[in-house]
Chains A and B, each alone.
Chain A
Amino acid sequence: MNPRSLLLHAYVYAVLVFILLPILVILPMAFSETTYLTFPPQGLTLSWFGDFFTDSRWMASTWFSVKIAVLTAITTAVVGTMATYALVRGANAMGTLFQAFLIGPIVVPHIALAVALYLFFQNAGLSGTTLGYVLAHSVIAMPFTVFTVAAALTSVDPALEDAAMSCGASRFNAFRLVTLPIILPNVISGALFAFIISFDEPVIAFFLAGIRDKTLPRMMFDDIEQNLTPIIPAIAVLLTLLSILVLLAAAVLKHMADRNKGAEGQ
């Protein structure tokens, strides 16, 4: 390795240490016996996980977040796939408007959207409700799902559907039996992204929370702001495992999608 390349490698690995360090420090603390957060952790215990899984408030907020995230994933997958399909198969003229509507909610800062939704939902009686959260999370997760689905849909030869329709299938059946199986891996990975975006979403959740119904990120925010207990590292371990699982699932789905593409080309 020449000196320049050595320097580049040293610099990059130093940056990667900077990126990983906070996560590598917080995760072991979940197993520490001390009630305050210290590094290196002392002793070995799983009691903080026990505390998390037995505390009714943490559990209620976790299930609330799971419910919102699942509904958000389903909403974005269905609504996003429908709109993307219409766009790719006919409504070309609406492309610019569609993109503006799609990108708008993520270009505008989350704080602006959160405050606007807080005001509107209070008047509409949607504060702290499941429906309110699902609506809000769906608009910010939508672009990720749509672009993932569109990437697959634009590569499906429309002649496949035309052939099915020539054989007497309705457009819906042609989509359901021909196109959907090809794009399904992308639809699912788009839904997975939406799930994670909703599950981790802290800003809108901060403003929309009612007094009783708090999402997991909102509970974590309160804990970090007030006293930062060792439950946070325990949750960090669980959330990191979840992220790894989702990334692995997305990688497997991508592999399946590539194989679909390959099969279609033969």
Chain B
Amino acid sequence: MKGPGFFEADGRQMSKGAILLLMGPFFLLVFVAFLYPLGNLLSISVLEPTPTLANYERVFDNPIYATVLLRTFRIALLVSILSLVLSLPVAVLMANSRGPKAVLITACILLPFWSSVLVRTAAWAILLQRNGMVNGFLQAIGLTSEPLRLLYTQGAVVVAMTHVLMPFMVLPIYGALRNIPPAYNRAAAICGAGPLRTFWEVTLPLAMPGIIGGFILVFLTALGYFITPSLLGSPQEMMIATLISQQMRENLDWPFAAALVGVLTLIVTVITLIFSKVFQFDRMMGGRA
């Protein structure tokens, strides 16, 4: 995590009591609605029915569950790569534009960002249905003679998740690009580098923290994604979040659902800690408007 730099302390010192009084509600809230419930759930995964690691062994030993885990990784990785390929040029143009063009691109990225995930998922369901626009288009250009089954497939999940998560990639990359002093580009040009060489050797390395940050953010969000895979995916090709929901709501197998949550939480926490340096949460959140 970042040091105290962002929350700089200054001015007349407050008493310990005043600080406790001001921060108390925050810590209480996080304890009641985050730490305790999660700790309680994870304790079930190792304590029920008896103190055991059997619930975790089931996740990895049973080929069905191991497949779900692998598939989740594969889809999350694919979504992250697609998002990066689509986002990088957008972020580059956004960072280099002024005036109406900059406003247009920013609005296109921010509007979906702040609109409902359910609305966007429903839109994909409509586009991809049997008599939907995508099938109509494919038939019109003669690629297929009859409608394809597009909905409830992995392809539908990948396309819709890329669409939903892309803004999380654009914004950190844009932030990193905007922080590069324009003088660097001029210096490269004076030294005789063309625009492409400047991009590869100056811009891209300097933007790397934003690129890695965006990539990891999209990857982690995709790993635990629930809504889009549940509504657009095939029940035979579940991702881990849908499996957790099924184990809990249909099979009422709490210890096993808790172990799946444990695996997912552990993976996400470890990756976050490894990359904590490139995450600039303050910028990602505060800079959203």
Contacts and interface: CB of A to CB of B under 8 A. Distances in A.
Given A111-B264, A147-B281, A232 B119 contact: yes
Interface in B239-258: 241, 244-245, 248, 254, 257-258
A221 B111 contact: no
Contacts of B105: 12, 16
Contact of A9 (B22, B93, B282): B93
A73 interface: no
Interface residues of A, number: 107
A126 B254 CA distance: 19
A66 interface: no
Contacts of B118: 200, 202, 217, 220-221, 224
A154 B1 CA distance: 19
Interface in A52-108: 75, 78-80, 82-92, 94-96, 98-105, 107-108
A131 B7 CA distance: 30
A82 B120 contact: no
Interface stretch (B60-68, B138-146, B202-210, B222-230): B222-230
Contact of B33 (A26, A109, A138, A225): A138
B7 A95 contact: yes
Residue among A189, A225, A240 facing the most chain B CB atoms (10 A cut-off): A240
- Chain A binding surface, main DSSP class: helix
Interface residues of B, number: 94
B26 A162 contact: no
Contacts of B40: 116, 119-120
Interface of B: 1-4, 6-14, 18-19, 22-23, 25-27, 29-30, 32-38, 40-41, 44, 86-87, 89-90, 92-93, 105, 108-112, 114-127, 129, 131-133, 163, 166, 195-196, 220-221, 223-227, 230-231, 241, 244-245, 248, 254, 257-258, 261, 264-265, 268-269, 272, 281-282, 285-286, 288-289
24 contacts: A21-B127, A23-B120, A25-B133, A39-B132, A83-B25, A95-B4, A105-B30, A107-B269, A108-B265, A112-B264, A113-B37, A115-B41, A135-B32, A139-B34, A150-B282, A158-B10, A171-B14, A217-B116, A220-B118, A221-B118, A224-B231, A225-B230, A233-B122, A247-B289
